[in-house]
Amino acid sequence: MNKTVNINLGGIFFHIDEDAYLKLSRYFDAIKRSINNSVGQDEIIKDIEMRISELLSEGQKSDKHVISLKDIDAVIAVMGQPEDYIIEDDAAPKYNYNQTNTSKRKRMYRDVDNKVIGGVATGIAHYLKVDPVWVKIAFVILLFASFGSMLIAYLILYIVIPPAISTSEKLEMTGEVVNISNIEKKVRQEFDNVTDKIRNTDYEKLGNDIKYSAKKTGDTFGEILLKIFKVFAIFLGSILVVTGIFTILSLFIGLFTLGSSTFIEYPWSDFINAGNYTDYPIWTFALMTLFSVGIPFFFLTLLGFKLISPNLKSIGNLAKYTLLALWLVSIAFLIAVGLKQASEVSVENKIETKQEIAIAKTDTLKVKFKYNDYYAKDIDDRDEFRFVEDAAGNSLIYSNDIRLYVKYNENTTTPYIQIEKSAKGNSFSDARKRAEGIQYKAEIVGNELILDNYFVTAVKNKFRDQEVRIYLYLPKGQYFKPDYTISHFDHSDSDIFDPNFDNHQNYIYKADAYKIECLNCPNEVKNEEWENENHSQEDTIKEVSVKINGKEVIKTSVNLTKDKNGVIIKNN
């Protein structure tokens, strides 16, 4: 069994077995000997350590991974052997081309050594292998062409693209192989640049001062952009926090009130319960809705606080996963409830009752609607539905959803009515049962048909689109006198029966030839009906010509009209 050693390499801790540690130590000793007395020796060793640390981190399968000889051999294969390089002060390193080149890769960094503002343009130029001047010119053109919005893009790139700090990062930025030779070469080059600057200080003082000022200005500009971004982040975060807190509080108050209707009797409790088609209590809907809507807004609120204060401590993974699980459960519950609600009104069924009206054709059938003064105070007091109590104290659903259809039937000699009660349910039997629960009354008193303008049903039947439809069939020659009260409920086909109730006058109609016509309506009403009926039967002709043996002998362009018998009439 091999011993393991904990080492700190490039600021990262590794678990390494003893054999691998000894080989890595010998490798570093050989590198130190190969670059002994070289310029920037310590900097070279530091950069090599960081590069080896990166390679070992990439090869780790987990935090508990132990570095073995195999891992060290893989690193050496990438970095190369120290004896492969001849490093002299007056000559560039000679590279052994038998060495592997697997470590060559290119990444985008900001070039902070040659920056003017933030090094973004120069870094992109290195990545694209173009002159930095062209990239900078493109940035300036886009700045004006985008009316300043390019500043936001530059700021985003400044934040997203990391700076090239270490020697390895600078080599990756330019696409060079990160190995011992290039690291040593890069360090020597940087030291030479510093030496040249010091040597030429007297000649380049003015240029260096200008360059320093430009960099200083660029740093200041970058700081200003960063502050603007921070201010915008705080503004956006404030909006998210206010919106999130307001939404969560509104949800909590509204849904708490809704859910408490299960335990507290509110004026609207009956409406809520009648609309609940499932067996689940209302408070479960309120709770699941709070989770499904409130949890996303809670995380939006946290995001707002994070934008305002980036150092804000996280709520922890346990809380996050718990809230996520609650959200998923609530969404699944609401979907299931929605499907249940839809299935409860998926089928419609009806029941019909037929009643003949014993009246002679010579008599006039009168029809009117009446209201119940226990539930309403006049015929115009109507509601689609509301909750009422009868004289015995029973809770009922009250509705004025009544429709009357007056029709002509030549196959009968006696007028009759069909009362159709319909409702919806989760099956035909369920829908029929709810339709049977509708209480509606129509009575015949002498030659008068009296219809209720409402129906009621027990609250337990709930809202299921309950409706009452009344079909009144009149035989040929039947006289008919509708009361003005039917105007609120009449839905007859206007081509068959189009009643007139001017000034609440009750006119007499007669069923004849598939139409129920008014006998004593004012003349202007009759004329209007006659014009509407005959307008479609007349065709206007603009020109007529007569030909004999193919030769035109008469031609006229005056206005002509063809009546319903096909006779052409000249219009004046």
Is residue 502 assigned to a domain?
yes
Residues 344, 425 contacting (CB under 8 angstroms): yes
- Mean residue pLDDT of the chain comes to 77
Residue written as tokens 């470590």? 103
The yes-or-no verdict on residue 103 having pLDDT over 70 is: no
Structural domain ending residue among the three candidates 343, 361, 386: 343
- The string of pLDDT tens digits covering residues 421-430 is 999 988 999 9
Chain centre distance of CA 435: 39
Q: Which two tokens stand for residue 556?
A: 């006229």
Token output for 335: 């979907």
**Distance of alpha carbon 502 from alpha carbon 444, whole angstroms:** 26
Residue 552 lies in a domain: yes
Which residue, of 343, 374, 397, is where some domain finishes? Answer: 343
What pLDDT sits at residue 437? 93
* Residues 449 and 481 occupy one common structural domain: yes
Domain count, the chain: 4
Q: Is residue 313 part of a domain?
A: yes
The verdict on residue 107 lying in a domain is no
Same domain, yes or no: 442 and 472: yes
Contact 509, 500 (CB under 8 A): no
Based on the fold, state whether residues 315 and 386 are members of the same structural domain. Answer: no
**Are residues 369 and 358 part of one domain?**
yes
Q: What is the pLDDT of residue 555?
A: 57
* Residue 403 and residue 331 share a domain: no
Task: Clarify whether residues 478 and 377 are in a common domain.
Answer: yes
Residue 352 near residue 469, CB atoms below 8 Å: no
440 lies in the same domain as 524: yes
State residue 93's pLDDT score: 45
Q: Sorting pLDDT into bands at 50, 70 and 90, what band is 262?
A: low
Residue linked to tokens 């029941």:
351
What was the pLDDT predicted at 99? 45
**65 Cβ neighbours under 8 A, 6+ residues apart:** 15
Q: 3-class secondary structure for 149-200?
A: CHHHHHHHHHHHCCECCCHHHHHHHHCCCCCHHHHHHHHHHHHHHHHHHHHC
Confidence at 89, pLDDT banded by 50, 70, 90: very low
Q: Are residues 332 and 470 in the same domain?
A: no
pLDDT digits (tens, 9 = 90+) for 515-565: 888 888 876 555 555 455 554 444 555 555 555 555 555 555 555 555 555
In a domain, 194, yes or no: no
Query: Phi then psi for 283, rounded to 5 degrees?
Result: -65, -25
> Quick one: three-class SS letters along 398-429?
EECCEEEEEEECCCCCCCEEEEEEEEEECCHH
Query: Each residue of 32-47: pLDDT tens digit?
Result: 877 776 666 777 777 7
Contact between 124 and 106 under an 8 Å Cβ cutoff? The reply is no
Chain segment 389-423, per-residue pLDDT in tens = 887 888 888 998 899 999 998 888 899 999 999 99
Whole-number percent of the chain with pLDDT over 90: 14
> Which tens digits make up the pLDDT trace of 352-399?
999 999 888 788 999 999 988 888 877 777 677 788 888 788 888 899
- What integer is the mean pLDDT of 216-229? 70
Dihedral (CA of 392, 393, 394, 396) sign: positive
The verdict on 383 and 526 lying in the same domain is yes
- Euclidean distance between CA atoms 402 and 370, whole angstroms: 12
Is 395 in the same domain as 246? no
Burial of 526 (0-12, 13-18, 19+ CB in 10 A): middle
Mean per-residue pLDDT, 158-181: 75
295 in the same domain as 398: no
- Residue 152 pLDDT greater than 80, yes or no: no
DSSP 8-state symbol, 377 = S
- The residue from 40, 61, 84 where one domain ends is 84
Average pLDDT over every residue of 265-284: 66
Please check whether residues 542 and 522 belong to one and the same domain. no
Long-range contacts of 62-71 (CB under 8 A, 24+ apart): 64/15, 65/15, 66/4, 66/15, 66/16, 66/17, 67/14, 67/15, 67/16, 67/17, 67/20, 68/16, 68/17, 68/19, 68/20, 69/17, 69/19, 69/20, 69/23, 71/20
- 80 in any annotated domain: yes
- pLDDT tens for residues 128-143? 888 887 787 777 777 7
The pLDDT of residue 442 is above 60:
yes
Q: Classify residue 314 by its DSSP letter.
A: P
Does residue 24 belong to any structural domain of this protein?
A: yes
Say yes or no to pLDDT of 92 above 50. Answer: no
Indicate whether 195 belongs to any domain: no
Q: Which residue has the higher pLDDT, 95 or 198?
A: 198
Residue 12 has phi, psi (to 5 degrees) of -120, 135
Domain span including residue 552:
537-572
Q: What confidence category does residue 455 fall into, taking pLDDT thresholds of 50, 70 and 90?
A: very high
